[in-house]
Amino acid sequence: MDETEKIRVPPSQFKADVWAHFGFRNKEGKNEMDMTHAICRYCSMSIKYCGNTTNLRAHVQRRHPEKLQQQQPPQPMMTQTTLDSKLAPSSVRAKKITESIAEFICQDLRPYCVVENRGFRSMINTLEPRYVIPSRKQFTEVMIPDMYEQVKLQVKKSLASTESVALTCDGWTSRATEPYLTITSHHIDESWELVSHVLQTRALFESHTGTNIAQVLGAALEEWELINKDPAIVTDNASNMTIAAQLAHMQHFKCFAHTLNLASQRALKLPTVSRLLGRVRRVTGFFRRSTVASHVLHEKQALLNLPRHKLITDVATRWNSAHDMLERFLEQQPAIHAALLSAEIRKSEKDICTLTESDITAAEEVVAAMKPMKVATLAISEETRPTLSIVAPLHAQLVHQLQDNPSDSTLTRELKTTICQDLNKRYLNEKEALYKASALDPRFKALPFLSEDEREDVYNGITAEATRTKWALQVTLTAIHKSGLEAESMEDGSQDPDQEDMSATSVSKSSKLCSLADLLGQTYAAGAAKKLKTAEDQVMEEITKYKEEAPLALGVNPLEWWKEHEGRYPFLSKVAKKHLCIPGTSVPSERVFSTAGDIITAKRSAIAPEHLDQLLFLNKNIKH
C-alpha cells in the first residue's frame, strides 16, 4: 500500500488551511489517529505536532511552495453598498474596526468562523456599511498572530523586569475530550502588585508522563527566558507533576486547594457519610428534576420566610460542593419537609428517600466538622494576594482544630481523624520554604505554630538566603570600598608631631610590605575594619527591626505593607518578593477556561487546538 494512502484526514475541528497538506496516521495496532505527529501528504515526512501549526506551514513553504501558490484565498464577502464607498483597509477607521473584531474574538474566546456568521456580518454592516470584513484566513494568519507577537513582547518585558518568578501548571480536558497543559507565571512588580500572565497552553496528545510534561516545562522556561530566574512551580498532587518538576530541576509545591480536596474527599468516602450524601442527593435531585416539586418548594420557602435559594446537588470532583449541598439542605429542611408532605408531591414520595432525624443530625455534624476545610479552601484560592505564606499557618490551624474533643460524636471524631491523617503526611519536604514564606509575611512573622528553636532556624535560613543574593554581594563590596576611601581620607589628613616621628621611624620596617599595601590598598587600613558592616550584619539588623514591628492585621494585604517599608528593609524585601510571589494553589491556572464560573461552552469547544494557545494567551494578557 502506498504511504500516502495510510494518511487519514484530520478531525473536523482542525480548521486551519494548512491541514489541506497534512494528515495523521493511525497508532500502531489501533484504529485511532496518532495526533502527536502530522504527516505531509506530498513527501510523507513526519512532523511533531503540539497544537501549533507554525512548523507545519514552514515545511510546506520550504519543501512544497508550489502547493501554496495553488491555494486561492477566499474572497471577503461584500456588503450591498457600492464599491466606491468602501473604507480602504489601511484607513484609520477600518483598522480600528478590524482590531476591535480581533479583540472581540480573543476576549470572548470565539472561533474564527464567527466572522463568517450571517448575524455577525449583518451587525457590522449596520454599524458601518462602508467596512468590508476581512476573511477568516486574514484573522487566523495575520491579525491574531500579529497581536499575539505584540502582546508576547510586552509579557516578556514584564517578566524580564523582575528578579523572581513563580509558575503554576495544570492539566485540563476540554469538552471535546482534548487534553491541554496551561502554564501561568506570577511575579511581584516594582509597585508591589502581584502580576500573573498565562504563558502558554499546549495540547498533550502524548502520554501524560512526568518526562513528557518536563519537556513542556523545559521548553517554556527557554521560550520565556526564565531559566536564570530559577522559578518555583505549583501543581496538583499528581505523581506525574512531581516527577516533571524534579526532571525540570524546579522547586515544587503542591497545590494547597488540591491537598484540602484530597483530604476532604477521603472523609466524604467514609461509609456513613457516603450513605448520607446519597440520600440527600436523591432529595435535591428530585426537586431539581420536577417543576411541580420546585414550584411547591418555592411556595413553602415564602410561607416559612426562608431564603428562596435553590437546592444544590454535589459534583464528584469538588468536595466543597458536597458541603454546600448539605449546608443548603439543612437551611431549607423545614421547607423541604413541608413540600414533601403537600398533596401535590406525596404521590411522588416513593421516588425519593426521606431522611430520618438521625440523618439530619449526621448532616449537621458533617457540615460543622468540614467547615474549617471550606473556609481554608476559599482563603487559599484568593488570587489578589500572595498565598504561599498562608499555607503553613492554615495547615497548622486545621490540624489543631481537627484534634479530638471529648464532646465529639463518633462520626465527628472519625471525620477529624481521617482528615488529620491525610494532612499530616503532606508538605513534609516543603516545610522550610513554607515557613520562610510565612515569616516574610508581616501577618504571620511571629510563627506561633512553631517552637522557639524552629523559629530561630527559619530566620537563620532567611539571613543566609538574603546574604547570598547578588544584590547583597554588591552592598558588601560597596561597604568595603567606602570604608577604604574613608580610611584613606583619614591618612591624608594632618598628623601631630609625635605621629609623624613614629611614621618616620617605621618607614624602613614597613618598606618590605609595600607590595602588599599596594595590592590591598586601604581596605584593611587602621580603623577601616571596625567600620566595615557586611551584608550579613545588615540583614541581621533588619530582621531584628522586622521582628519588633507590630504584626499586620490579617485582613490587610502584606504587599501593601512591603511597598511602604521596602526602603527600611532593602535586603528582606528582596527575599520577600521571591517567596511571596509563589501562589499556594494552582487554581489560577485551573481558572483559565472557567472565568466567571463558566466552563468551556459548546461554541468555545469548537476552537481548533492550534488556535487555543494564542487565543487563551491574548484573552488573559490583553489589558482591557
d(CA 195, CA 404): 41
d(CA 285, CA 305): 23
**pLDDT value of position 317:** 77
d(CA 140, CA 146): 10
**pLDDT value of position 65:** 85
**pLDDT value of position 204:** 87
- Which of 70, 90, 120 is where one domain is finished? 70
> Residue 309: which of 281, 290, 276, 335 has the closest Cα?
335
**pLDDT value of position 70:** 66
**pLDDT value of position 383:** 55
The string of pLDDT tens digits covering residues 552-602 is 998 899 999 999 999 999 999 999 999 999 999 887 655 544 443 343 444
The string of pLDDT tens digits covering residues 4-53 is 457 888 887 787 888 889 999 888 878 888 888 899 999 999 998 887 88
Distances (CA, A) of 390 to 187, 320, 384: 17, 20, 13
Burial of 218 (0-12, 13-18, 19+ CB in 10 A): middle
H or E stretch at 200: strand 194-203
Q: Specify the DSSP class assigned to residue 388.
A: G
In a domain, 528, yes or no: no
> Residue 383: which of 594, 155, 566, 106 has the closest Cα?
594
- Measured over the CA atoms of residue 572, residue 575, residue 580 and residue 585, the dihedral's sign is negative
Containing structural domain, residue 264 = 260-429
In a domain, 209, yes or no: no
**pLDDT value of position 302:** 96
- Which of 70, 103, 121 is where one domain is finished? 70
Stretches where the chain sits below pLDDT 50 are: 1-4, 74-84, 494, 496-513, 526, 528-530, 592-603
Q: Specify the DSSP class assigned to residue 6.
A: G
In a domain, 37, yes or no: yes
- Which of 429, 458, 484 is where one domain is finished? 429
Q: Residue 334, SS3? A: helix
Instruction: Please state whether beta strands 179-188 and 194-203 pair in parallel, antiparallel, or not at all (unpaired).
Output: antiparallel
d(CA 450, CA 471): 30
Distances (CA, A) of 473 to 6, 468, 476, 535: 63, 7, 5, 7
In a domain, 618, yes or no: no
Q: Specify the DSSP class assigned to residue 48.
A: E
Q: How many domains does the chain have?
A: 2
